[in-house]
């Protein structure tokens, strides 16, 4: 049975295990050393209760029930960007291309909407048709491309930016509500 819930500190080892292959062998992450469970726990804690970290579990997955995770972070450091988030999603190999990513990403987007954020930005290392499909399936639209901005595994990599309007901007804008207050939203 598939379930989506808020990530807990105890999920950090499973999250690190899902992420590691993307760091070691892939180009979708620009990190070169995979973070361990402790580093992932610190990243979850660094959200300060404002930004959601979600995990997808599968009761039939045996000893590793966490099969994916998605999260939002601050888009940029300046205060005027505080209504915008950057999002990421990673799905374990066996759960990929089975609709899990879309379900998990929809839960993240619904939660960000409930919190009152206005825009979500997805940064995608290109080419990556699967990531583009899941982003566009949940409402993201291509916003632009930065050419050859990452160098990994002997190649230069472009990064595409996709943008999703979460809520219509208002003047003045309402402050986003913390994830710790809102919780997982199912809109």
Strands 66-74 and 119-126: unpaired
Q: What is the pTM of this model?
A: 0.93
Evaluate whether 139 touches 112 at the Cβ level (below 8 Å): no
CA distances from 141 to 64, 122, 144, 166 (A): 33, 9, 9, 12
Q: What is the spatial distance between Cα 103 and Cα 71, in angstroms, rounded to a whole number?
A: 13
C-beta neighbour count of 34 within 10 angstroms: 16
The one-digit pLDDT tens for each residue of the chain (187 residues) are 789 999 999 999 999 999 999 999 999 999 999 999 999 999 999 999 999 999 999 876 555 589 999 999 999 999 999 999 999 999 997 666 677 889 999 999 999 999 999 999 999 999 999 999 999 999 999 999 999 999 999 999 999 999 999 999 999 999 999 999 999 987 5
Q: What is the spatial distance between Cα 48 and Cα 72, in angstroms, rounded to a whole number?
A: 12
Residue showing tokens 């915008």? 84
User: What pLDDT sits at residue 102?
Assistant: 93
User: What pLDDT sits at residue 100?
Assistant: 83
Give the H/E segment covering residue 144. strand 141-152
Query: In terms of Cα–Cα distance, which of 107, 154, 163, 100 is closest to 130?
Result: 100
Residue showing tokens 């409930």? 114
User: What pLDDT sits at residue 98?
Assistant: 73
User: What pLDDT sits at residue 95?
Assistant: 64
Mapped onto helix, strand or coil, the DSSP state of residue 142 is strand
User: What pLDDT sits at residue 1?
Assistant: 78
Evaluate whether 171 touches 159 at the Cβ level (below 8 Å): no
Q: What is the spatial distance between Cα 30 and Cα 22, in angstroms, rounded to a whole number?
A: 9
């Amino acid at each position: 049975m598939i379930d989506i819930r808020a990530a807990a500190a105890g999920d950090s080892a499973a999250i690190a295990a899902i992420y590691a292959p993307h760091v070691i062998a892939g180009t979708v992450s620009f990190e070169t050393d995979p973070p361990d469970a402790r580093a992932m726990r610190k990243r979850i804690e660094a959200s300060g209760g404002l930004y959601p970290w979600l995990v997808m579990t599968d009761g039939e997955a045996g000893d590793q029930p966490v099969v994916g995770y998605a999260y939002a972070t601050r888009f940029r450091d300046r205060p005027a960007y505080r209504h915008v988030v950057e999002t990421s999603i990673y799905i374990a190999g066996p759960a990929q291309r089975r609709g899990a990513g879309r379900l998990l990403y929809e839960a993240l987007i619904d939660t960000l909407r409930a919190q009152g954020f206005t825009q979500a930005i997805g940064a995608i290392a290109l080419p990556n048709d699967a990531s583009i499909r899941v982003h566009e399936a949940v409402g993201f639209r291509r916003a632009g491309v930065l050419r050859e901005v990452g160098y990994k595994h002997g190649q230069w990599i472009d990064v595409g930016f996709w943008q999703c309007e979460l809520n219509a901007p208002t003047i003045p804008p309402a402050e986003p509500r913390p994830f710790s207050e809102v919780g997982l939203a199912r809109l």
